Amino acid sequence: MICRMHPLVALLAPLMVTISLVPSASFAEDTIAIVEPNKPAEHFMTVAELVGEFGPASVLPEGEIDPWPDDGDDIAKDELARYDRTSDLSGLEVSPLERIYELTPDDIEPYFDLVLYVSKAEAGPLAQQIFIYERNGARTLELTDRWLVSTGRERREQYFTTTPAGLFQLDPNRFVANAYSARWDGSSMPNAMFFNYSYRERMSGYAIHGISPRYQQYLGQRASGGCVRLSYDHSTALFNRIEGNYQGEVPIFPFNEMGGTTFRDGTVDYDENGEIRTEWGYRVLLIVDTFAG
């Protein structure tokens, strides 16, 4: 069997990156995984997307990249406490927990021991925050953390920078400590926890991840290209917390053929006995909501 090298792969071969063709059995069409040396894949792109985004003469990231550019605008880590918010929710007319129970179908709610509630609203009491609820010994959800985030800018730019709303799980196979965005000029995405979410039959690049100190000043407002941004310290804490815990059987969110994406409303599959179909994963539910509070 003779294997022919795609001309784009030949063009990029001299660069310090690994180019891997992923079989179409895993994706709707052949994709290119851009992987830095000794780093796992962060984003999968079709050949057409790669040409369109970087151009044939562009230089991709090579070697080690300093995740914290020396831009003179860094924020000392001891100042990161300002990205925490009080856990006192007594003044809210509707709490995040009420929204969680309202949005989550009763038959899947017990499967999740950690719930991440994110409001992508532009302004309001809940806006641009993540509320983390953990199931306690009494099997009820209890608030443990409340942090500022940045979600998508929600406008047409080079791409439409939206953060999709709905119910998501996290992909257990895509927890990447040192990720870089192929779509946004190699931007650092430390502690990336990718959504287990397909778009047009390919895994999406949406993730919860940390950011460099340069961008932490924008937490609390819409500022991302579509991902959910956290401060670096918070992303590290959440990444380690989830990766070391919460493994178990979780419901399968099936692909919506009509909509072209994974279902985002908690729809699940049932077997011939009427039982929910499950798979191994993290017992973590991410809810991205438009509700402002």
Domain range annotation of the chain: 7-54, 77-289
Cβ atoms of 136 and 249 closer than 8 Å: no
pLDDT at 87: 66
| pTM (2 d.p.) | 0.74
Which residues, at least 6 apart from 100, have a Cβ–Cβ distance to it below 8 Å?
A: 115, 117, 133, 141, 287
User: Which among 122, 129, 146 has a CA at the least distance from the CA of 228?
Assistant: 129
Distance, CA of 67 to CA of 212 (rounded, Å): 7
- Residue 103 to residue 33: CA distance in whole angstroms: 35
- Provide the pLDDT for residue 82: 54
Q: Across the beta sheet with 255-256, what order do the strands follow?
A: 202-203, 198-199, 261-262, 255-256
Q: Give per-residue pLDDT as tens, 120-162.
A: 999 999 999 999 999 998 889 999 999 999 999 999 887 789 9
At residue 111, the pLDDT reads 97
Residue ranges of the chain whose pLDDT lies below 70: 1-87
Burial class of residue 128 in the structure, from the number of CB atoms within 10 Å of its CB (0-12 exposed, 13-18 middle, 19+ buried): buried
Query: What are the pLDDT digits (tens) for 263-281?
Result: 999 999 999 999 999 999 9
Q: What pLDDT does 183 receive?
A: 75
3-class state of residue 138 by DSSP: coil
**Integer angstrom CA distances of residue 146 from 88, 150, 248:** 10, 13, 25
What pLDDT sits at residue 74?
Answer: 39
CATH T-level topology, domain 77-289: L,D-transpeptidase catalytic domain-like (2.40.440)
Q: What per-residue confidence (pLDDT) applies to 71?
A: 36
